[in-house]
A and B are shown apart, each in its own frame.
Chain A
Amino acid sequence: MTSEKKVTLWIDGVKVTVPEKTTILEAAASINIDVPSLCYHPDLSVIGACRVCVVEVEGQRNPVASCSFPVAEGMKVKTSSSLLRRLRRDVVELILDNHPMDCQACTRNGTCELQKLSYDLGVRERLFEGERKHYAIDKSSPVHRNPDKCILCGRCIRVCGEVQGVHNLNVQHRGFRNVVAPAHEENMIDSVCIHCGQCVNVCPTAAFTEQDATEAVFEALSNPDLHVVVHTAPAIRATVGEGFGFRPGTPVTGKLVTALRRAGFHKVFDTNFGADLTIVEESNEFISRIQKKERLPLITSCSPGWVNFMERFYPELIPLTSTCKSPMSMLSTLLKTYYAQQIGIDPKNIFVVAVMPCTAKKFEAKRAEHVAPWGKPYTDAVLTTRELIWMLKCLGVDFHSLEDGLFDSPLGVSSGAADIFGATGGVMEAALRTAYEKITGKELDSLDFNEVRGVEGVKETSVQINGTSINIGVANGLQNAKNLLDRVASGEKEYHIIEIMACPGGCVAGGGQPYPPRGMHVLDPELARLRAKALYSIDGSKSLRKSHENPAIELLYENFLGAPNSHVCHELLHTHYEPKYPRGVK
């Protein structure tokens, strides 16, 4: 990169030197000049569709789109003038002409980029009014699609294809009839959509949103016949604070627990417990496969987006994928079996709420494999982090002033290995800590596997266990996973165990996480890094850092499950997968 040619230009009179081929918008950003933009996203390809980011370049007849216009030597750029202000405002006014403008009743009220731009650019009256598009809202899946709110920026299409490799969305038809939809304008549930929710994250408006579960949860909380319990995923404690103004990367576990109690949940448990249990079961599965030298590499199954992707795009990998249920489903199952028994409540009267960083978890909860014999799902409702934040605000909970609370026992005790599940590489690190000690019978000198930490798309390393070299692959973001899996298929690479997380950065950047604060953006590696850091700091501060040493887990096996991989375990903690149609194109 050092041999790259540099170009010097002036932006608003400020001299700046950047590598050639940099765009004007990037060059401006490097000196903290924030050019308004809409379709542009720093981590996706550039399409220059919306023209909000226009700037004036000396010598150019017309203003140019700064997101796609490359810098040149000696260029003089103006990012602000009365002409530009008027042009940008006109562009947004024209977009608003075909927009419902029902901001007060919209879930993105306050987080909508179009709303913010309209305000910032001085849109104060409706200048253009013409024919508006009208489509039905697709509520078939956990990811709702509302084309009436779509401004055709194409970010969802790009994230779905470029980052996730799913290519489920595209612009259909032309001109006024343009609509972003899956093939054949099919419902999301009947498409190759994997419900990861990254389209929800990148959408500047409410064209993509998550299915609402808040109403069902509020109702359950006010039903005197129900025992309502909640458990929260590892990643929530690292992100929920952002909804209340905490800087990204601030762990708020204690406040989160207190907030959930204030909200009225009868018991507050920790999905971490399920994560520890997953590790014990999964490492057992791994050890047995290693010993028999069969069905390798073992591929993790915690990420429901990945599981959906696997069933539609890589059904040939079903035999290799761990049969372990995800931490959420393991814990929910135990809540309606073990826990119900312990407290003597009919499981039909227990309402289990899971707070997840994820939209695909809403899909997982409803899968037939996770429905109890009496016909109700083990997980009754899944709230995303965003939904929980809204519920707490709705209830008027003053998050800042809350005292730290502790999770309820016994399904609230967890190791640090469980906390790091929320970051890419975390499941692998947790599994290694347990598998290593179980295979060798020796204690690890250092519990930190730094090679699998960090937000890079693909990480690989080898660990020596009893003289055997165990090859490890970790991928996050499904396009990265595709690249890794294709190398496995071609025989170029041989792994023993692979961790795949559907979302880039892992659950900390999941499809249900808070919209980032100003100055950061969705898919921002720095954002994922900060949030992950919070989890690693929690892990580092715990004395219990190995799943198999969790005393509550040991007790659970002793009193209820028997040994890992026992018959009861298989009945309650394991699942199966099926090839699904429509099949995706890899």
Chain B
Amino acid sequence: MKSILLQKEKDKAKAVLPATVIQYIEDCAAKSNPNSHLISVLHKVQDHFGYLGREHMDAVSVLMQIPSAKVTGVASFYHYFNFSPRGKHRVSLCMGTACFVKGAGHVLDKIKELLGIDVGQTTEDAQFSIDVARCVGACALAPVMIVDEKVYAQVKPDQVGKILSEYGYTPKKAKK
């Protein structure tokens, strides 16, 4: 009886996650400390969806049989995990010491102003989201702005609009 009910819950959870993640969780279950792989499972979930949704974390909880308060506790501890869908284009600004003293703060303010959102948020049209990085290790290029995979060096606030327009940004859109 117990196993039937649990199996039902697990089947529901499996419908939420991609096959690769389910396979990975099953592989982990065979290892000596299955629970210690929670973080890498969460990484794989975020790689797939771009974020950790409530339903994704609950599914991980059921499949790994780790209490969900623990799953969300671990996920919310790390800056790397984010909990809302990311935009199509991910705008990332380095806020490491070098970038910061070279004016990254002003660049960030400009990005926030143009897109009308805060760090960690996504625009309503789902085109852009903003993240800040601690240090990307390119201090010579400070301040550094990264959009998707492309790196922009020595960015000044008045260049932000032009950079964003490469990804379909128009001022009108942002005002909305």
How many interface residues does A have (CB within 8 Å)?
A: 26
Of chain A, the residue at the smallest CB distance from B72 is: A183
Known: A584-B67, A585-B62, A585-B65. A172 touches B72 (CB 8 A): yes
Task: Map CB proximity to A onto B47-79 as digits: 1 under 8 Å, 0 otherwise.
Answer: 000000010011001100111111111001100
Known: A174-B77, A183-B61, A489-B2. A582 touches B69 (CB 8 A): no
Are B58's CB and A171's CB within 8 A?
no
Which residues of B lie under 8 Å from residue A184 when comparing CB positions?
A: 54, 57, 68, 72
- Interface assignment of A21: CB less than 8 Å from any CB of chain B: no
- Interface assignment of A155: CB less than 8 Å from any CB of chain B: no
Are B67's CB and A583's CB within 8 A?
no
Of chain B, the residue at the smallest CB distance from A488 is: B2
Are A585's CB and B66's CB within 8 A?
yes
Q: Which residues of A are in contact with B by a Cβ distance under 8 Å?
A: 161, 167-174, 181-185, 191-192, 314-316, 489, 579, 582-586
In order of increasing CB-CB distance, the 8 nearest A-B pairs are: A167-B67, A170-B73, A183-B68, A170-B69, A316-B1, A183-B69, A183-B72, A173-B76
Task: Map CB proximity to A onto B1-28 as digits: 1 under 8 Å, 0 otherwise.
Answer: 1101100010000000000000000000
Which residues of B lie under 8 Å from residue A583 when comparing CB positions?
A: 9, 62
Given A169-B69, A183-B69, 19 other A-B contacts at CB below 8 A? A161-B67, A167-B70, A170-B69, A172-B69, A172-B73, A173-B76, A183-B57, A183-B67, A183-B71, A184-B57, A192-B68, A314-B2, A316-B1, A316-B5, A489-B2, A583-B9, A585-B66, A585-B67, A585-B68
User: Interface on chain A toward B: helix, strand, loop, or mixed SS?
Assistant: loop
List 12 interface pairs A-B (beta carbons < 8 Å), by A numbering: A161-B67, A167-B69, A172-B69, A173-B77, A174-B76, A174-B77, A183-B61, A183-B73, A191-B69, A192-B69, A314-B2, A586-B65
How far is A184 from B70 in the complex, measured between Cα atoms in Å? 10
Q: How far is the CB of A434 from chain B (nearest CB, A)?
A: 29
How many CB-defined contacts (below 8 Å) exist between A and B? 62
Q: How far is the CB of B132 from chain A (nearest CB, A)?
A: 16
Which residues of A lie under 8 Å from residue B69 when comparing CB positions?
A: 167-170, 172, 181-183, 191-192
Are A582's CB and B68's CB within 8 A?
yes
Q: How far is the CB of A167 from chain B (nearest CB, A)?
A: 3
How far is A585 from B62 in the complex, measured between Cα atoms in Å? 7
Which residues of A lie under 8 Å from residue B58 when comparing CB positions?
A: 183, 582
Which residues of A lie under 8 Å from residue B72 when comparing CB positions?
A: 170, 172, 183-185
How far is A171 from B70 in the complex, measured between Cα atoms in Å? 8
How far is A489 from B4 in the complex, measured between Cα atoms in Å? 12
Which residues of B lie under 8 Å from residue A171 when comparing CB positions?
A: 73, 77
Task: Map CB proximity to A onto B66-110 as digits: 1 under 8 Å, 0 otherwise.
Answer: 111111110011000000000000000000000000000000000
Of chain B, the residue at the smallest CB distance from A191 is: B69
Which residues of A lie under 8 Å from residue B66 when comparing CB positions?
A: 585
Which residues of A lie under 8 Å from residue B67 when comparing CB positions?
A: 161, 167-168, 170, 183, 192, 584-585
